[in-house]
Chains A and B, each alone.
Chain A
Amino acid sequence: MTLSGSIAVAGICEHPTRWAPEKSESQIMAESARGALADCGLEIGDVDGLFAAGIAMGPMGVVGLAEYLDMKPRYLDGTNIGGSSFVAHVAHAAAAIHAGLCEVALILYGSTAASNAMAIGTGLGGGRDPVASFVSPYGMTTVGSYALVAQRHMHQYGTTSEQLAQVAVGMRRHAALNPEAKMRKPISVEDVLESRMISSPLHLLDCCIISDGGGAVVVTSAERARDLAKAPVLLRGCGEAVAHQETGSPDLLTMAARQSGQNALQMAGVRQGDIDFCTIYDSFTITVVLTLENLGFCKPGEGGAFVEGGRIEIGGDLPVNPDGGGLSSNHPGMRGIFLVIEAVRQLRGEAGDRQVSDARLGLVHGTGGTLGTMHSGATLVLEKA
């Protein structure tokens, strides 16, 4: 049997917290695990594959997490390729389950980025090792690296700050429909443009928020998932890729998403026009515009026009991040797991006021690291069974 269609996401849980100074990161992961296992009707003893990544997790992170949960899984994966890790974990879990190396995979994330006052966007400096020496003397912030990409996109294609702002406005409209979202007060294009400049051309409201939070995803075979509590969501396609500075001449507007998206769609045997909605890592407004181009939903340079007129909002041609995304719902440092969780909620028809009608096929794309320097990309195509 081929991988496509033989593996399912069976259980999900998004931890409701956005501010948890009283909780540890392991605790958030454990509470999320409890939620996802209850969601599908499994117990912790059924899990034989453990997948996790975190900002504070070192090389032994997954082993330490297994101890915290007193688990002895037969398959471990601590792959950390940035915020896209959990999207990649779904594909890795699928491969392991398909190969018979485990049967029930549990993917976890938890973070107290906000209550730790972690300055993700403007406080991380790269360190003093020899490779970082080509960056750290110049004060490149995370926002700054994405801003370099945004400025180039504007120059090359005439993309405007108003077009980028449309993404933030749309995600906020979605968040207003999500009772758990952190930022629910509507904003206008003018609000985005008048918010303070962080790193030109990106304003404060072009940037994702910082919250605490976490989540869990249970992956198993489609066959086993059919007997569980919720309707399975099938994995139809997956892909991974990297983009970096190469040997000095990177095209900053080509993302890892181009390769990972193409491979995921090809494996699923579908085209962009078949996709009903997307969940896309919206670290910044430019990230959504450029990811849509690189995934082939529009041509290079057309992303600015594509996001205008409500096209990426619920009710539009291609709703993106119905939960409000990292720009408005939650962003505890690495957001990839929520891209998977929201896609599954939509495909199950469990999304409440923000439900995309007739959602049958969803595309998930996570970016990890930073556009402008180096990043990873992981894409999934998920289908309602």
Chain B
Amino acid sequence: MAGKFEHPEPTAHWETSGYWEGAARGELVLQRCLDCGRVQHRPRAICAHCLSGAIEHFAASGRGRVYTFTVTHQNQMPAFRQACPYVLAYVELEEGPRIMTHIVGCDPEEVEIEQDVVVDFAPCANGLAVPRFRPA
């Protein structure tokens, strides 16, 4: 686990708790439809492909590649003003989905598209954790 999470904390409800509670355990959790086999993210109560309600959660490998990123130099929200510059990114997971995240653990200017990254969880005061990624 990396440093404590200083930004707005996630809120889990029954449709998304599998993801956030998984993160609290140190697992990056995705959903798979038991009927059609599709993997989906963000979590939903149904499979958006076949509308089945038979959904399972599984732990992804936590490995992926940077699909795109931006170094944020200006954010006027108080929670982020001091954090600039920080790296907002989409990481393409080995399992397919591209998830919005932060790239941490390196100089923001060294992040590159296609770079290999691995998940890293930042614990929150509310007991959940936020998945971020660092260079592999």
Contact = CB atoms under 8 A, between A and B. Distances in A.
Does A pair with B?
A: yes
Interface of A: 119, 122-123, 125, 128-131, 133-141, 143-144, 147-152, 155, 196-202, 245-250, 252, 373
17 contacts: A134-B16, A136-B8, A137-B8, A137-B130, A139-B7, A139-B86, A143-B74, A144-B88, A148-B88, A151-B69, A155-B68, A200-B70, A248-B41, A248-B42, A248-B99, A249-B98, A252-B90
Contacts of B29: none
Interface in B41-58: 41-42, 48-49
A198 B74 contact: yes
B113 A133 contact: no
A199 B70 contact: yes
A139 B70 contact: no
Contact of B72 (A133, A135, A141, A150): A141
A200 B40 contact: no
Given A138-B102, A139-B83, A248 B39 contact: yes
Contact of B98 (A136, A200, A248): A248
Nearest to B130: A137
Given A149-B68, A152-B67, A133 B99 contact: no
Contacts of B98: 245, 248-250
Given A247-B38, A247-B48, A248-B42, 7 more contacts: A130-B12, A136-B10, A139-B79, A139-B102, A141-B75, A149-B68, A252-B68
A130 B13 contact: yes
Contacts of A147: 70, 72, 88
Contacts of B89: 148
A161 to B, nearest CB: 13
Contact of B40 (A123, A151, A196, A248): A248
B73 interface: yes
Interface string B10-39: 111101100010000000001000000011
Contacts of B113: 151-152, 155
Contacts, number: 131
B97 interface: yes
B77 A139 contact: yes
Contacts of B77: 123, 125, 139
A137 B20 CA distance: 12
A144 B70 CA distance: 6
B100 A134 contact: yes
A139 B75 contact: yes
Contacts of B11: 128-130, 133
B80 A139 contact: yes
Contact of B76 (A122, A138, A202): A122
Interface residues of B, number: 48
- The 5 A-B pairs of least Cβ separation, nearest first, read A248-B97, A147-B70, A248-B41, A133-B10, A247-B40
B9 interface: yes
A155 B114 CA distance: 10
Contacts of B39: 247-248
B7 A151 contact: no
Nearest to A150: B70
A378 to B, nearest CB: 24
B100 A200 contact: no
Contacts of B48: 246-247
A4 B101 CA distance: 45
Contacts of A140: 88, 100
A130 B15 contact: yes
Contacts of A252: 67-68, 90
B118 interface: no
B97 A144 contact: no
Contacts of B41: 247-248
Given A134-B42, A136-B8, A139-B88, A119 B72 contact: no
B127 interface: no
Contacts of A150: 70
B12, B73, B79: most-surrounded residue (chain A CB, <10 A): B73
Nearest to A135: B100
Interface in B86-109: 86, 88-90, 92, 96-102
Contact of B16 (A133, A139, A148): A133
Given A125-B8, A128-B8, A144 B72 contact: yes
A151 B83 contact: no
Contacts of B83: 139
B105 to A, nearest CB: 15
